[in-house]
A and B are shown apart, each in its own frame.
Chain A
Amino acid sequence: MNKIVLLVLAVFPVTVVFSQETVSSANSSPVPTVSNTTPATTADVEGLRQQVQSLTETVKALQQQVKNQQAALEKANLTGESGLPQNPEPLPLAGTERSPVPAASVSPRFPTEDISVVQSTTAPAASPAPGASASPLPGDFPTTDTSVVTSAPETISSTGAGASLTQPITIGGGKNYMNISFDGLFALAYSSARDLDHIEVGDHDPQQRGFNARNIELAFDGAVDPYFEGFANIVFKLDNDNETSVEVEEAFMQTTSLPFNLQLKGGQFFAAFGRLNPTHPHTWDFADTPLVNGLFLGPDGLRGVGAQASWTLPLPWYSQLIFASQNGRGSTGFSFRNPGDDGMFFDRITTDREVRGLQDFVWIPRFENSFNLSETQTVLAGVSGAFGSNETGANSRTQIYGADLLYKWKSARAEGGFPFVKWQTEFMYRRFEAGHGADDSFPVAETFHDWGLYSQVLWGFKKGWVVGIRGDYVHMQNSEFTDDLDRQSRSRISANLTWYPTEFSKLRLQYNHDFLEENFFLSDREVDSLFLQFEFILGAHGAHKF
């Protein structure tokens, strides 16, 4: 400590003297007064030249003096540290005159301003005393800064609220109108069953032994104008014959500036039913869809063209009401106005009719609440519903009710979001009125009460590493009249290990054990499957919601 004090004391007077001399001599120099006002004579010029020369020499001498002092001090201070690189840079203490605090009695030795890091626009407007701030301040601080400090950040121009932050990689370096990202999700699959496409219930799940590319997506988002933001997700899927199909998974606009915490959304979008349905496969914690989601909401999830309103309630905790209406037609309205494969659904020849009235839309309400159990623990719970008609009869209706719970713990010292523990469960109950089919072609009308759930625990035990386990169960009501492959009760156990080298890539190994119950055509059997999933993301990867 003594050494430090000594060094400070030794260096301080030298630098002060040095800088004072240079500044004062610069001030006394007549140079600035000559150039503009009177035309300079040769004698004047010569005189000035000499003055400048003598000044330069004085400065050089002083510089040398400082250097010598410094070297001596450094030697004294760093004995035994011979391997340390000598740093020839001048000490950062040159230029100590400029104190923005004129009132302060002692002249500060350490610079308290730095125009190289703080731009003039918001630079502290100095102090009110004009005398001090008027003193000449050009470039007193070591100019080495300019080499490090390359440019100022652009102030972000934005017209909308939501997507107003720039994204890391975007066309035109963050000043564009649209963020683009590309995501490729692939899986190498093995299964003891040859018909993997019948074992897996989701359209983005692995469909065959060997390699699968079931979710290659292009995503766009951005502010539309001061009132709306837009989002689109175009998915390319390769089928088992490597033919490409394209689906407009989502394409919607939503408001950004409605009052009373309201938000409206319109277009093609995933229904806000439960936790998993509104999310994209690349955010899933498992390589495939839970049974209950695939069999009740459909292989592609419940989504469609429609409109949605949501309202966050003015309560001290997070509480949101969401209400949507969609056409619910086709396979993305699976339990609703779905004509089914080859015009059959649950063994009935389906009607494929136009909308008769409001009862033919799917109405999807959701209510969700979230609480913080502690600084590190969060719970999010919701109830959802989906109500509409189906195509198995003239007036057949479907109701699906859901409840979901998410618990998450994340360490207060989390790095990269790890470690964490996440427990997620969804339960669904479906009441399905199966009618007489088109033109009363099916002899029996019956009502199915089906239910199912999945529960999964994910443990991010180390930065980039997650281990997960999931249990699935679906109960389909037995029927003496209807025998459909999709109406088997079944269950499944899955376990996986995921490695995220960064948030833009992942490798996942998953094991599934399926229990399939016997029915009319199939004896009971168990199926083992193994998936190696791999993924990459390019471009502006959207931030994840909770």
Chain B
Amino acid sequence: MKKTLFILFAIVTCAFSAHGKLNVVATLPDFGSFAREIGGDKVNVTVLAKPTEDPHFVDARPSFVVSMRNADVLIDGGAELELGWLPPLLQNARNPKIEIGKPGRIQASQGIRLMNVPTNVTRAAGDVHALGNPHFTVDPIIAKAIAQHIAESFSALDPANAAFYEANYKKFEETINAKLQGWGAALLPFHGQHVAAYHDSWPYFAHRFGLNIDLFLEPKPGIPPSPSHLAEVIAQMKAQHIKAIIVEPFHDRRIAEKVASATGAKVVEFSQFPGGVPGTDSYVKLIDTLVSRLAAALK
């Protein structure tokens, strides 16, 4: 009995031993990546969703409750992308530190102007988000704003390391500013070109780099491609000489391959999340990969 008690005690102390560092939980891997950039070794970052899975439908695994219960900071998108799985987790986590309005809750969409806000919210239009398109982190300028938001929150919660967080943000900002020149130049030759995508996840990326990613294999967001819609897409792709189809790791690549072979376009695997495609363990590497993959396909 004494032994069991001792083991139990050891486990409990283990669970709390991570104290001293900020415990940060990010719903999605992109937020987690920003948190690591800013927090460095002063924070523990736990990411809930896997970079390769559909962020709309993540299982609310009970282990997430444990992570959120012990969190000092929760970073979520705040734009309904996690609507299908975050609310029951919050309910079960019972952690007042990460309530909306508390410094421990960072909603990445705060201060971001979301694109494609529907004027009339109807589910006849498919999986449309009432607050606008939530796939906004792939715009590096928006990424800087989120990173700054995170740096400010970390500084408020951990004033002792405020200078560290601020410096990391500055470093991130400078990296992005410098990188943007290269990314912009790489995609400049394709300015105004049309690109197809499986799902409408790329309006922010397109807007940043002057592309038109406006033809989708899904007839409506979240609705699987139908043969009649794909025939239409193929016709349009031919008419517009579209050279690339963007798919994400969780999409059915075979459908995109079929369309590609019918049109002569290339299938380009993109991910919204660092780690979603090989060699992208940081945000900058992710955008590097996206830009070079797309430029190669459009050439």
* Chain A residues near B (Cβ < 8 Å): 1, 3-4, 7-8, 11, 77, 81, 83-85, 87, 89, 91-93, 99-101, 104, 108-114, 116-119, 121-125, 127, 145, 148-156, 158, 160-169, 173-174, 229, 256-258, 261-263, 312, 314-318, 370-372, 375, 378, 380, 408, 410-417, 463-464, 501-504, 542-546
Contact, CB under 8 Å: A153 / B63 = no
Q: Which residue of B lies closest to A4 (CB)?
A: B189
Shortest Cβ-Cβ A-B pairs, 3 listed: A87-B192, A110-B184, A122-B111
CA distance A118 to B117 in the complex (A): 16
Q: Given A112-B176, A114-B141, A117-B204, is A84 in contact with B61 using a C-beta cutoff of 8 Å? A: no
- Give B44-70 interface residues, CB cut-off 8 Å to A: 50, 52-54, 56-57, 59-63, 65-66, 69
B188 in contact with A417 (CB, 8 Å): no
**Minimum C-beta distance from B162 to chain A (A):** 14
> Size of chain B's interface in residues, with CB distance under 8 A?
99
Chain A residue nearest to B101 (CB atoms) is A158
A interface majority secondary structure = loop
B14 proximal to A (CB < 8 A)? yes
In chain A, what residue has the closest Cβ to B63?
A372
Out of B88, B96, B209, name the residue touching A544 (CB < 8 Å): B88
Question: A-B contact count, CB below 8 Å?
Answer: 287
CB distance from A281 to the nearest CB of B (A): 18
Residue of A nearest to B209 (CB): A92
- Of residues 221 through 248 on chain B, the ones whose CB sits less than 8 Å from some CB of chain A are 222-224, 239-241
B6 interface residue, CB < 8 Å from A? Answer: no
Q: How far is the CB of A96 from chain B (nearest CB, A)?
A: 10
How far is B145's CA from A111's CA once the two chains are assembled, in angstroms?
A: 14
B148 surroundings in chain A (CB, below 8 A) = 122, 124-125
A122 contacts across to B, CB distance below 8 A: 110-112, 145, 148-149, 152
Say whether, besides A108-B177, A156-B78, A91 and B191 are in contact (CB < 8 Å).
Answer: yes
Contact of B222 among A81, A92, A93, A416 (CB under 8 A): A416
* Known contacts A8-B185, A109-B184; is-contact A414 B121 (Cβ 8 Å): no
Question: How far in angstroms is the closest Cβ of chain B from A465?
Answer: 10
**A486–B129 alpha-carbon span in the complex (Å):** 49
- Bound: A258/B15 CA distance, A: 20
Q: Which residues on A sit within 8 Å (CB–CB) of B50?
A: 375, 412
What residues on B are CB-neighbors of A543 within 8 Å?
A: 60, 83-88
Q: Indicate if the CB atoms of A502 and B63 lie closer than 8 Å.
A: no
Q: Say yes or no: is B156 at the interface (Cβ < 8 Å to chain A).
A: no
A536 → chain B, closest Cβ, in Å?
10
**Is B111 touching A123 in the complex (CB atoms < 8 A)?**
yes
Q: List 19 A-B contacts (CB under 8 A).
A: A4-B189, A104-B177, A109-B184, A117-B136, A127-B170, A150-B115, A150-B132, A155-B107, A163-B87, A164-B90, A165-B80, A173-B130, A258-B94, A312-B92, A314-B16, A370-B62, A372-B63, A410-B59, A412-B52
Complexed CA–CA distance, A8 and B299 (Å): 15
Q: Which residues of A contact B204 (CB under 8 A)?
A: 117
In angstroms, Cα B241 to Cα A315, docked, is 57
Q: Compute how far the CA of A114 lies from the CA of B207 in the bound complex, rounded to whole angstroms.
A: 11
Q: Hey, which chain A residues are within 8 Å of B207, CB to CB? A: 117, 145, 148
Q: Give chain A residues whose Cβ lies under 8 Å from the Cβ of B112.
A: 117-119, 122, 152-153
Which residues in A have their C-beta under 8 angstroms from that of B170? Answer: 127
**For residue B139, which residues in chain A have a CB less than 8 angstroms away from its CB?**
114, 117
